[in-house]
């Protein structure tokens, strides 16, 4: 079965420190991979996507993610966390030939002042 895994329910990081939110995937073909952020009682905001090309993808609000095919990972990173980055982050994969997304379970990021 195809899946996207986010192994951490919650990540705590001090403001100003680098942050990493982990994602691994088991998605067929050449998957498209995405990161979204969700604030309380809001929909999902697009952060970045990987389709092809450079393994390092830069996105909104200073976030970036690295596609690693051998490790089937697509971890989200930011060099310096802000308190306002505190939110729920979802990784999603889209198998080839379909428009459907497979979502991870989400990781709650808490940035402490």
Partner 1 sequence: GAVVSQHPSRVICKSGTSVKIECRSLDFQATTMFWYRQFPKQSLMLMATSNEGSKATYEQGVEKDKFLINHASLTLSTLTVTSAHPEDSSFYICSARDHTVIDNEQFFGPGTRLTVL
Interface residues with partner 1 (CB under 8 A)? 32, 34, 36, 41-46, 49, 51, 90, 99-101, 103-106
| In the complex, least distance from residue 100 CB atom to partner 1, rounded to whole angstroms | 6
Which string of DSSP letters, residue by residue, matches 54-103?
Answer: -SEEE-GGG-EEEEETTTTEEEEEESS--GGG-EEEEEEEE-TT----EE
**Nearest to partner 1 of 36, 111 (CB atom):** 36
**Nearest to partner 1 of 49, 77 (CB atom):** 49
| In the complex, least distance from residue 80 CB atom to partner 1, rounded to whole angstroms | 26
Rounded CA-CA distance 8/29 in Å is: 26
| In the complex, least distance from residue 106 CB atom to partner 1, rounded to whole angstroms | 5
- Asked whether 22 and 8 are in contact (CB, 8 A), the reply is yes
**Nearest to partner 1 of 19, 106 (CB atom):** 106
| In the complex, least distance from residue 31 CB atom to partner 1, rounded to whole angstroms | 12
């Amino acid at each position: 079965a195809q899946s996207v895994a986010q192994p951490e329910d919650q990540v705590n990081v001090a403001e100003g420190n680098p942050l990493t939110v982990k994602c691994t995937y088991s998605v067929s073909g050449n998957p498209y991979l995405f990161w979204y952020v969700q604030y309380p009682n809001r929909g999902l905001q697009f952060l970045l996507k990987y389709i092809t090309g450079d393994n390092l993808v830069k996105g909104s609000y200073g976030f970036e993610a690295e596609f690693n095919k051998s490790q089937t990972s697509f971890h989200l990173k930011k060099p310096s966390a802000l308190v306002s980055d505190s939110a729920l982050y979802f990784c999603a994969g889209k198998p080839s030939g379909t428009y459907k997304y497979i979502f991870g379970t989400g990781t709650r990021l808490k940035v402490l002042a």
